Amino acid sequence: MMNYEESMNTYLNMLQEAKEMDESAGIAARSGKYDQAAEKYRKASVLYAKAADSLLDLMDTADSYERDEYQRSVDRLITVSSQMKELAKAAALRKKQDSKQSGQGSGARIDQESDEEDEALFVPETQAPDTGFAQIAGLDEAKQIVTEEIINPLLYADVYQKFKRGNRGGLLLFGPPGGGKTMMARAIAAESHMAFFSVRCSDIVGRYFGEAEKRVRALFRAAREAHDAVIFMDEAEALACRRGGNSTVMNRLVPELLSQMDGFERFDGHIIVIFATNRPYDLDPAFLRPGRLATHCYIALPDYEIRLALLKNQILSRPCEEGIDIESLARATERFSCADLVNMVERGCQQPINREILARKQGFAEANEKLTEADLKVALKRVHPSVETEEIRRLEKWMKQMGIEYQAVA
């Protein structure tokens, strides 16, 4: 078994080899050698994964602080490895497109098709988001922060101008998974009557290699054409991770994102950029500076009152027996996220569904089963909180380091 120094050298050598292969793949891609690019991206993916494995070996001898840092690096390496796989697929696809084109002007036709696909990828939702603040249980502090810092400066611009209070930029929604960050983003768009663009990492880098920056420009161009828009980036740490790391793709993408966000001051419309993440500590610090994501809103796990309101909504909107003790269920689900609570109720509904199907098979066409408290208690035994205590501690540690004031009120 290797000692610490040998394991560290193995990791650093593997990481350097992965970076070199990544860079070589990018050079091949920019030169139009897509078959070579695909092969190199595949090799880079394997090397990044091996580097992650090497780092895992080091965690056994590390202290608690080092283990946290190592785990974050492992997570980033795995993410980059996955991105390399997608880039390899995209390079292979581009090679296939090239092979179908022949004669003069084929490259121009491909580029034109690519531009059209970029434009078509980013369109606002056809229906305005139907989730306003009134439909969100709790999150009162988060609603107040968002209203004062994001919505009111748009709806009452003259009042803010009177007091020389400028628009502070975008919004960072962070907190444990399943807490309602996406719902909050949709509610902001609804409350401010703006178009809503929802974007994931795969929309930017998942299909065509070497075109991440162009896709970012296409996204912001589409938002500007809508004039008033919300750009919502879920799992933002995958798109806006710290530079100087393992991916040359991300090192080029982050400056483009920052440039587009800084360009709003030369635009007469209103665009709100909202990042949502469970891992704010993985974001590049440049995004957190004033004028960019200046407003930080912690979406904590729901407290008792929020759990009670959500459970009432979920249970009473379904066929259920009278007298279900929803209060006791709310007390028994401490540390459950909003998603966990919905999952519990849905699992509970499977019991009456099974009973009614069985009754119909037995010839009872008029069977009318209902959700019971016993069904929910059975589901509660099978569903456990999906958020680890360690995740909460890491978030609180980051907030303390950043000097962010918060109240974990959900």
Exposure pattern of 230-245 as b/e (b: 16+ CB <10 Å)? bbbbbbbbbbbbbbeb
Q: Which amino acid is at 284?
A: D
Q: Could you tell me where in the chain the CATH 1.20.58 domains are found?
A: 4-100
Give the pLDDT band of residue 405 (cuts 50, 70, 90): low
Contacting residues for 375 by C-beta, under 8 A, at least 6 apart: 348, 349, 351, 352
How many whole angstroms separate alpha carbon 185 and alpha carbon 272? 10
Q: Which of 64, 25, 30, 65 is nearest to 45 (CA)?
A: 25
**CB neighbours of residue 145 within 10 Å:** 17
Q: What is the pLDDT of residue 351?
A: 94
How many whole angstroms separate alpha carbon 379 and alpha carbon 268? 52
Q: Which amino acid is at 203?
A: D
Q: Which amino acid is at 131?
A: T
The CA-atom distances, in angstroms, between 397 and each of 117, 183, 275 are: 42, 25, 20
Q: What is the pLDDT of residue 110?
A: 44
User: Which has the higher per-residue pLDDT, 111 or 328?
Assistant: 328
Q: What is the pLDDT of residue 100?
A: 58
Q: Could you tell me where in the chain the CATH 1.10.8.60 domains are found?
A: 304-386
Q: What is the pLDDT of residue 274?
A: 92
CATH class held by domain 133-300: alpha beta
Contact 183, 142 (CB under 8 A): no
Residue 187 has pLDDT above 70, yes or no: yes
Q: What is the pLDDT of residue 380?
A: 95
Q: Which alpha helices (DSSP H) does 1-105 contain, by range?
A: 4-30, 34-59, 64-100
Q: Which alpha helices (DSSP H) does 198-273 contain, by range?
A: 201-205, 212-226, 248-262
Topology of the domain comprising 304-386:
Helicase, Ruva Protein; domain 3 (1.10.8)
Burial class (CB in 10 A: 0-12, 13-18, 19+), 120: exposed
CA angle 189/194/197 to nearest 5° reads: 70
Q: Could you tell me where in the chain the CATH 3.40.50.300 domains are found?
A: 133-300
Q: What is the pLDDT of residue 64?
A: 63
Q: Over the stretch 116-155, which tens digit does the pLDDT of each residue have? A: 555 556 777 644 445 688 878 778 888 888 888 888 888 8
Residue 266 has pLDDT above 80, yes or no: no
The CA-atom distances, in angstroms, between 200 and each of 132, 205, 234, 237, 238 are: 22, 9, 6, 10, 9
CATH 1.20.58 is the classification of domain 4-100: yes
